[in-house]
Chains A and B, each alone.
Chain A
Amino acid sequence: MTQLMMSREEALTALQTLGSPSVKSENYRYTSLKGVSWDAPPVASGVQENLPALPELFRNDFFALANQAYAPACQKITAQGLVALSYEGLKSQQPYYYRAQITVPKNTQAQIVDLIVGDPALFNALIVFEVEAGATLSYTQLQNLGPASVAFLRHQVILHQDAKVEWTMAARGAFKYQYRLESECKGTGSDMKILSATRGSESQHFDFWTTTTHQASHTTSSMDHWAVMGDKARAVFNGKISIPHTATHTDAYQKNRNLLLSPQAVIDALPKLEIATDEVKCAHGASIAPVSDEQMYYLQSRGITRAEAESMIVDGFTEPALQKIKDLTLRNLVRETMIGHASQETEVWS
């Protein structure tokens, strides 16, 4: 296995050696893969023989290796202005593999909209985003896959000097969804802002596995993750901020707020901080609560039915997070993914 390239055969061998993750593995303790099939179609002819190097941090990641083995090609995108990712060839009830390398050139701005819909049996995507010095990226992911889809996404975001990234995600679909986001503030002055919201019902399973690594000094990051789980749905938040000794004057936080709508719904919140230097500002917090009886009573005392009161509280729960999205169109898109309709205030008071 070379550092620069990894052939499909090498990836397949690595996959076999690694074996599929079990619940004994730390990152799959709360995400069972029982019943998940990741069989890939035979690699079509004319595909790229070798893909770009699999980033080091994904080399022990089963689903990243699977992507290296089965993705037909690597799409190279230079993002400037508005870019919509498109998943060509995605078919209903078939496994789908996607690989891309996206660069936002130095001192430019890009807005990427990533709409993940359809009902493939398996959706496996691995994308490396390189945000060059002084560049600005706004990325918005709206995941609304069909109820039978299983999805594993791997994103790496590398921020060079003074790069600014606003990363927004709303996840509502798929039977099982595991999203791994590796952000690296590599250049001084870089800033990574992550905002994600998810809402699950029935037996859906969402696993957010994020690491923000501050490699350079004077870097900033924030992570706000909001989840609403009903029925027997489960959400895992496995969020880590890593600050090595080189990253002095880092300012970082992660917040995770969760609302449980049923006694059978489960939330596992696992925020972690790894700090190897003193000169940093770093905070984290997590909360898990059911719908408040007092809030319900207050709304009902105004004649509002129990069902409508609950719906108002639940729809409103993620709203403070959504208000952080400055672009109104994007905010409404995210809101629509989360609650099925656009805006409260514009409907009632405009």
Chain B
Amino acid sequence: MNNPCFKIENLHVKVEGKEVLKGVTLSMNPGEVHALMGRNGTGKTTLSHALMGHPKYEIVSGKIILNGEDITKLSAEERAKKRLFLAFQYPVAIPGVTVANFLRTAVRAVRGDEVPSKEFRGLVKKELENLKIPESFMTRSLNDGFSGGEKKRLETLQMRLLQPRVAILDETDSGLDIDALKNVSETIEAMRSPDRALLLITHYQRMLNYIKPDFVHVLLDGRIVKSGGAELALQLESQGYDWLYEAQR
């Protein structure tokens, strides 16, 4: 049996004094893909930022274990260096910082050493082609004036370049048209590997048509209330979430 590469143990998180996560527990083994679903406002994005180490999300109790190491008290920067990655739902724009400069700095930071220019360009060009991103992207300001789809492609590209051990993808499917969804999903699917675990946070089944999850979890009111296999996502697609709310009453 595998040892989990990522464990969330009874996590309680407050945002601006209000408790949003009320005891989330989840365990992922290397090679697995998990999907976390739930309605708006149930705490999915709070969980993703708490896991990545956003300073505004206060972990009141519980633990986050990455590859056997407790990272609960580490900064976002330290978590990233331990190869935890979050694809943001709403990546921020940073005017004046070019995509190329940002990617090079990030790759150097996570790898811990300088990547020669030629190697860096080669790496990036390959991923740009895979994700059908024009090369002109590289000299644009980071996420500045990008469409929703462009932002999501760039998040995916970063994940490819940074090669995380655990990746959390927060609604990477939103803002994508049908062709882009297929392309981005296939790129994510190609990240499935025996030494990596993926957590897909989504509202919809549509991304899961391309990336078949091993487990599906439902977050409701700050807790995981139901876990199952890929069929659970299909059930949610056809029946909605009401039956789970009813079951909680």
- Which residues of A approach B to under 8 Å, CB–CB? 292-295, 297-306, 308, 312-313, 315-320, 344-345, 347-349
Contacts and interface: CB of A to CB of B under 8 A. Distances in A.
A303 B80 contact: yes
Contacts of B101: 312, 344-345, 347-348
Contact of A315 (B77, B80, B96): B96
Nearest to B99: A349
A298 B92 contact: yes
Q: Which 7 A-B pairs have the closest CB atoms?
A: A316-B96, A319-B96, A303-B109, A349-B100, A303-B80, A302-B106, A316-B97
Interface string B87-99: 0100110111110
B94 A316 contact: yes
Given A312-B105, A319-B141, A301 B53 contact: yes
Contacts of B100: 344-345, 348-349
A316 B98 CA distance: 8
A303 B106 contact: yes
Nearest to A305: B77
Contacts of A303: 77, 80-81, 106, 109-110, 162
Contacts of A320: 95-96, 141
Contacts of B110: 302-303
A345 B117 CA distance: 12
A349 B98 contact: yes
B76 interface: yes
Nearest to A348: B100
Contact of A319 (B77, B80, B95): B95
Interface string B106-136: 1001100000010011000000000000000
Interface string B138-158: 110100000000000000001
Given A303-B77, A304-B105, A293 B98 contact: no
Contacts of A313: 94, 97
A316 to B, nearest CB: 3
Contact of B86 (A293, A301, A312): A301
A302 B162 contact: yes
Interface of B: 52-56, 75-77, 79-81, 86, 88, 91-92, 94-98, 100-102, 104-106, 109-110, 117, 120-121, 138-139, 141, 158, 162
Contacts of B77: 300-301, 303-306
A294 B94 CA distance: 10
Nearest to B54: A297
Contacts of B109: 302-305, 308
A312 B94 contact: yes
A299 B98 contact: no
A315 B110 CA distance: 22
Contacts of A305: 77, 109
Given A297-B76, A319-B97, 7 more contacts: A299-B94, A299-B102, A302-B158, A302-B162, A312-B105, A319-B95, A344-B101
A312 to B, nearest CB: 5
Nearest to B90: A294
Contacts of B95: 316-317, 319-320
B75 A300 contact: yes
Given A316-B141, A319-B141, A345-B139, A298 B91 contact: yes
The interface residues of chain B, by DSSP majority, are classed as helix
A156 B56 CA distance: 50
15 contacts: A297-B55, A300-B53, A301-B88, A302-B110, A302-B162, A303-B81, A303-B109, A303-B162, A304-B106, A304-B109, A315-B97, A316-B94, A316-B95, A320-B95, A348-B101
Nearest to B106: A302
Contacts of B94: 295, 298-299, 312-313, 316
B79 to A, nearest CB: 8
Contacts of A298: 88, 91-92, 94
Contacts of A315: 96-97
Nearest to B100: A349
A348 B117 contact: yes
A344 to B, nearest CB: 5
A216 to B, nearest CB: 35
Nearest to B138: A349
B121 to A, nearest CB: 7
A315 B52 CA distance: 26
Nearest to A294: B92
A308 B98 contact: no
A317 to B, nearest CB: 6
A152 to B, nearest CB: 31
Contacts of B138: 345, 348-349
A313 B82 CA distance: 24
A315 B102 CA distance: 12
B83 to A, nearest CB: 9
A304 B86 CA distance: 14
A292 B92 contact: yes
Contacts of A297: 54-55, 76
Nearest to A257: B95
Given A297-B54, A313-B94, A318-B96, A349 B106 contact: no
A318 B106 CA distance: 22
A305 B110 CA distance: 10
Contacts of B117: 348
Contacts of B139: 345, 349
Contacts of A312: 94, 97, 101-102, 105
B18 to A, nearest CB: 19
A308 B102 CA distance: 11
